[in-house]
Structure 1
Amino acid sequence: MMATQPERMPLAEADTATGRTAELLAEAHRALGLTSNLVLAMANSPETLRGYLDFGAALRAGSLPIEARLSIGLLVAQELGDDYGLSATVYLATRVAGLDAGRVTRARRGESDDPTVAAALSLASALLRGERDATGGDGLTPGQVVEVAAHVGVGTFTARLARTARIPLDWPIVRHTDLAAPDAD
């Protein structure tokens, strides 16, 4: 007997949404500049979408620089094989934060020349590996250590949702399997 592919989760329709869902989708569009398929899937649970928007806003106001935040997102998506998250984060890293291809590739490998980004990636990598006594983060403030853990948590949540919901890509595609070997750069 052949296994069947699970169906995709329905995505909210921003044009026809009503009530709280419509308000949250409009807020997401204002905050993010677009309404991604991930957000449309999250709208199936307005409470989850509300939490995602609030947590995202709080983390953007944190003390980690944007390159560190996006680098953590790149590493998490790469390590979890999340092509949706990787595609979205590569787009944001290159188009919004201005990271070049080399910095994006290095972040996907958990590497950076910037000491703060490198420390954040080291800690994020330890957390992703599930190290019982995760170390790393040398040079980060206690608040930044907390923020790294939060970014890993958000990235893990969105990766699991993207896979479970089978969210269709709405970003220029970047596959986790396309990462060049370190000596190929």
Structure 2
Amino acid sequence: MQHENATGKAAELLAGVQKALGVTPNMTKAMANSPAVLKAYLEFSGALSGGQLPAPVRERIAILVAQENGCDYCLSAHSYIGLNLAGLDQAEVDQARKGEATDPVAEATLTLAAAVLRSRGGIDDADLKTAREGGLSDGDVTEVIAHVALNVFTNYFNKAADVDIDWPVVRHDQ
């Protein structure tokens, strides 16, 4: 579905994306095939953007999850957003792809995100202890889990729908 062909609720949601971002990413155009899916993504993403994790940390999680899941669309998008909107530098983006950070709280966040992702949510007491020792609160832990879930959703969606990358391309295997 192209943005120009959208009608009803899909057109309304895509107009909101265009207004908020100044562009309508291909992912949201593809999601508009089901207005319920696009609405769910926008609401989940919007709610988490108002959480306590700062934008640079959220982008690091998204980069790590995209790298781990081999989603070039999301890796490209979040590398761009991290560099151009969230204040990360190229070294920080590269580190995030490996689940690393020089900032101790960001490092603890990525360690937890990797544990959540790799265990499919089956983290244990040792993972939580490491997160808390790294400076994460219970609220932070909760949000990390939610960000991993949101990014797994977008990774799976973009890979399954084979969404054309409309960001400067970053490949997970390079």
Q: Distance in 1 between matches of 2:147 and 2:156?
A: 14
**Structure 2 counterpart of 1:162, one-letter code:** N
Determine whether 1:176 maps to 2:172.
yes
Percent sequence identity is 47
- With structure 1 as the length reference, what TM-score do the two structures score? 0.86
Which protein has the larger Cα radius of gyration, Structure 1 or Structure 2? 1
More helix by share: 2
Question: Equivalent residue of 1:137, what SS?
Answer: helix
Residue 115 of structure 1 deviates from its aligned partner by: 2.0
Residue 168 of structure 1 deviates from its aligned partner by: 0.9
* Aligned pairs for 1:39-118 within 5 A: 39-118=28-107
Determine whether 1:137 maps to 2:131.
yes
Aligned-residue RMSD, C-alpha: 1.2
Residue 99 of structure 1 deviates from its aligned partner by: 1.1
Which has the higher mean CA deviation after the structures are superposed, 130-139 or 145-154?
130-139
- Shift >3 Å, 4+ stretches: none
- With structure 2 as the length reference, what TM-score do the two structures score? 0.91
**Structure 2 counterpart of 1:90, one-letter code:** S
Contiguous gaps of at least 5 residues in structure 2:
none
Determine whether 1:161 maps to 2:157.
yes
**Structure 2 counterpart of 1:57, one-letter code:** G
Q: Distance in 2 between matches of 1:115 and 1:57?
A: 26
Q: Distance in 2 between matches of 1:89 and 1:49?
A: 18
Determine whether 1:33 maps to 2:22.
yes
Question: Equivalent residue of 1:168, what SS?
Answer: coil
Residue 30 of structure 1 deviates from its aligned partner by: 2.4
Residue 16 of structure 1 deviates from its aligned partner by: 2.7
Q: Distance in 2 between matches of 1:152 and 1:141?
A: 17
Q: Distance in 2 between matches of 1:16 and 1:79?
A: 34
Per-residue CA deviation, residues 35-77 of structure 1 (Å, 9 max, x unaligned), is: 1111011101101111111111111100001111000000000
**Structure 1 counterpart of 2:49, one-letter code:** R
Determine whether 1:152 maps to 2:148.
yes
Q: Distance in 1 between matches of 2:116 and 2:8?
A: 38
Question: Equivalent residue of 2:10, what SS?
Answer: helix
Residue 98 of structure 1 deviates from its aligned partner by: 2.3
